[in-house]
């Protein structure tokens, strides 16, 4: 078994528990599945179920009865209220679409970045190979 490649974890392609590295792997090896996952996220974010942050009353479970009971503020005697954090996307607290867009922008190379190499005869073959790879 030594020296064998360890496969990545098995999961649905749109698993909310996916790590960012796994999403990048998905982009590289199964771009069509990544696009489908981002479409699912888009439908959620543009749909009627997308929540904005809002103030909601706080409850806790009573250990004896198992029922939800309001959490009361000790100073005021009023029920506590807290901001909810909305689900932002498939990553729950972050959006896959935003992450991929930022990652693609980070990896983007300016088209004319290596043009200066063409001026040097010794570097011309390397420059041509780099430019050909970037064009692909």
pLDDT reported for residue 34: 94
In the numeric block, which tokens belong to residue 51? 């929540």
- 11 within 8 A of 18, measured Cβ to Cβ: yes
Instruction: Give the CA-trace dihedral at 118, 123, 124, 125, to 10 degrees.
Output: -150
DSSP designation for 119: G
- E strands, 90-136, in order: none
pLDDT reported for residue 135: 66
Domain ranges of the chain: 53-86
Q: Is 60 helix (H, G, I), strand (E, B) or coil?
A: strand
- 98 within 8 A of 104, measured Cβ to Cβ: no
Claim: this prediction has a pTM higher than 0.75: no
pLDDT reported for residue 52: 66
pLDDT reported for residue 1: 55
CA–CA separation, 129 and 120 (whole Å):
14
Print pLDDT tens along the chain (136 aa): 567 766 666 678 888 888 898 899 899 889 999 999 999 998 888 877 666 667 788 899 999 999 999 999 899 999 988 877 777 788 888 899 999 999 988 877 766 776 777 777 787 787 777 777 766 6
Q: Is 76 helix (H, G, I), strand (E, B) or coil?
A: coil
């Amino acid at each position: 078994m030594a020296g064998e490649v360890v496969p990545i974890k098995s999961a649905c392609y749109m698993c909310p528990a996916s790590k960012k590295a796994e999403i990048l792997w998905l982009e590289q090896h199964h771009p069509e599945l990544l696009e489908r996952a981002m479409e699912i996220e888009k439908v959620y974010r543009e749909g009627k179920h997308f929540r904005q942050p809002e103030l909601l009353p706080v409850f806790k479970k009573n250990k004896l009865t198992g029922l939800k009971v309001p959490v009361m503020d000790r100073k005021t005697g009023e029920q506590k209220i807290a901001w909810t954090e909305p689900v932002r996307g498939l990553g729950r607290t972050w959006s896959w679409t935003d992450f991929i867009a930022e990652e693609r922008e980070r990896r983007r190379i300016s088209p004319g970045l290596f043009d200066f190499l063409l001026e040097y005869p010794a570097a011309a073959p390397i420059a041509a190979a780099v430019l050909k790879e970037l064009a692909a």
